[in-house]
Amino acid sequence: MSIRNQIVRGGTFLVFRQGMGTLLSAVSVIFITRIIGPSNYGLFASALVIENVLYIISQLGVGVFLIRTETETRENYHQAFSLLLILALLGLLAAFGLLPLLNFWLRMDRFMDIARVLFLGIPLRLLSLVPLAYLEKSLAYKKVASVELGGQVTYVAVAIPLALANFGAWAPVFGWISQSALACLLLYGLSGYKPVLLWKTEIVRSMLRYSLGYSTSSWLWQLRNLINPLVVGRFVGAEGVGLVALAIRLVEVLSFAKQATYRLSIAALAKLQNDRSRLIKALEEGMQLQVLLVSPLLLGMAVLGPYALPRLLGVEWTDVMQVFPFIAFSYTVNALFNLYASALYVLRYNWEVTLFHLIHIVLFFAAALLLIPRLGIIGYGWAELIAFGSYIVLHNRLVVKVGKPGILIALLWGLAFGLAYFWNGLGWAAVIPLGMVFLLPPTWRILRQHWHTLIKAGLWKPRS
């Protein structure tokens, strides 16, 4: 089987399994948020976002190095495990050391208690990176997806009963810790990897040389997630954080295909790194597929959400749909360009992505600090749109370093979907450009090409 067909098959399975996980996520979001309310959910979300940022910083890009490196040896995995064990301990110490400062800034009751427990998940997640990289390196996405689905089942099974038992913010906290622990155990079991403590300075240097650029870039991007707890939380409060966090969560759940294809792209593009023409072609097709996989579901939520959300969750969650279109538009634009970052990472142009992330964060934070105190959670949405300017820089760096992909049709699709998300405020006229774009002959030609690719990969067998 060709690399392309192998990638399509593996990626489709991952998308399918994450689609099943999406159903579980939707169930958990609906039940848990309805029961515990915006303030409790905002408290949990604030601590979880900070925990995730600390986790990303602590891993130093070691997992991506294992996937990216062309030399696959047991020594690399053993050294990565030993290094991550040290980083896990340091990360945990740093997390607890930051708690008093975070508590002073946020001024949220019970934040420190919630955060202390969530931060215990950092070592579990860090030590899961080695077996996860082992599976992803071999494109064993069936096993990876099974682990993630099992973790989501565990989260639902733990969090929902605790929410019904009036545990408040603690319900999702214990659900998250249970999910992280189970995922760690399953990854080691399915991968067959057995940890061995090892320290070879030359391997560590090789890892850190690669990871310095990648990690700096990744750290900067993760800072955008702090805007909700640190800026919305400071000026609007825990309820505002809960509303924005739910909007983000809904978009993430509906964008499961984007998350799956981005993860697949690092391993897939690495196999094409020595053939620039095929790499550019893969980027073009990937951008188109990202928009097609992500945008229709987001549009469906934008259409149904204003009617369904108050009935499912309660009227206290109605304002979520005010900020949802902004965040959905942001994810759609990111779906267009996130493969750019994958390609630059694979070709070791890490600092080019770092420059893009830096400009994005500066625009986003500056706009948020200016607009959120004046407009509330809508200010967060406008800040997302203002940060779009950074994608111009990313496109320019890819053209200079790699080549120029054809992006016009995918860009038209993304912008048309983005405008349609705002139909509730702009009226049904906002959907007209979307209809016009999908009547264009190039759109139909590209859709037929993708359809034929699925048939060739054996994922769809037309009837005779």
Q: What pLDDT shows up at residue 15?
A: 58
Cα–Cα distances in angstroms (integers) from residue 351 to residues 210, 216, 311, 398, 401, in the given order: 11, 8, 47, 12, 12
This prediction has a pTM of 0.83
Decide if pLDDT at 463 tops 50: no
| Interatomic CA distance for residues 354 and 356, integer angstroms | 5
Give the tokens for residue 173: 């906290």
Identify which has the larger pLDDT, 440 or 186: 186
Res. 103: pLDDT tops 80: yes
Burial class (CB in 10 A: 0-12, 13-18, 19+), 429: exposed
Which pLDDT belongs to residue 460?
44
C-alpha 269/C-alpha 454 separation (Å) is: 19
**The predicted structure's pLDDT at residue 28:** 79
Quickly state the pLDDT bin for 458 (edges 50, 70, 90): very low
pLDDT-above-70 percentage for the chain: 86
Which tens digits make up the pLDDT trace of 21-65? 667 777 777 889 989 999 999 999 999 999 999 998 898 888 878
Do the Cβ atoms of 134 and 66 come closer than 8 Å? yes
pLDDT mean over 174-179: 96
Both tokens of 122, joined, read 């950092």
Which of the pair, 363 or 222, is modelled with greater confidence?
Answer: 363
Q: Of 11, 18, 17, which Cα lies nearest the Cα of 253?
A: 18
pLDDT at 464: 41
- Residue range 356-385: mean pLDDT, rounded: 96
Q: What percent of the chain has pLDDT over 90?
A: 52
Q: Are 147 and 190 in contact (CB under 8 A)?
A: yes
What pLDDT digit, counting tens, does each position of 131-148 carry?
998 888 776 767 887 888
Q: Does the pLDDT at position 288 exceed 90?
A: no
Residue 261 has pLDDT above 80, yes or no: no
- The CA-based dihedral angle spanning residues 232, 233, 235, 236, taken in that order and rounded to the nearest 10 degrees: 80
Per-residue pLDDT at 457: 46
Q: Chain-wide mean pLDDT for the chain? A: 86
Confidence grade of residue 341 (pLDDT, cut at 50, 70, 90): confident
Residue 392 CA to residue 336 CA, distance in Å, equals 12
Residue type, 44: F
Q: State the pLDDT confidence band at 269, using cuts at 50, 70 and 90.
A: low
User: How long a stretch of residues is the chain?
Assistant: 464
Quote the pLDDT of residue 368.
Answer: 97
- Highest mean pLDDT among 73-87, 139-153, 335-349 belongs to 73-87
Give the pLDDT score at 233: 94
Q: Which of 53-62, 70-79, 119-128, 273-282 shows the lowest per-residue confidence on average (mean pLDDT)?
A: 273-282
Out of 4-13, 56-65, 179-188, 370-379, pick the least confident.
Answer: 4-13
| 3-state secondary structure (DSSP) of residue 368 | helix
182-208 pLDDT tens trace: 999 999 999 889 999 999 998 888 888
- Helices 129-137, 74-106: axis angle to 10 degrees equals 130
Task: Report how far apart, in Å, the C-alpha atoms of 334 and of each of 331, 373, 394 are.
Answer: 5, 26, 11
In angstroms, rounded to a whole number, what is the distance separating the alpha carbons of residues 218 and 210? 13
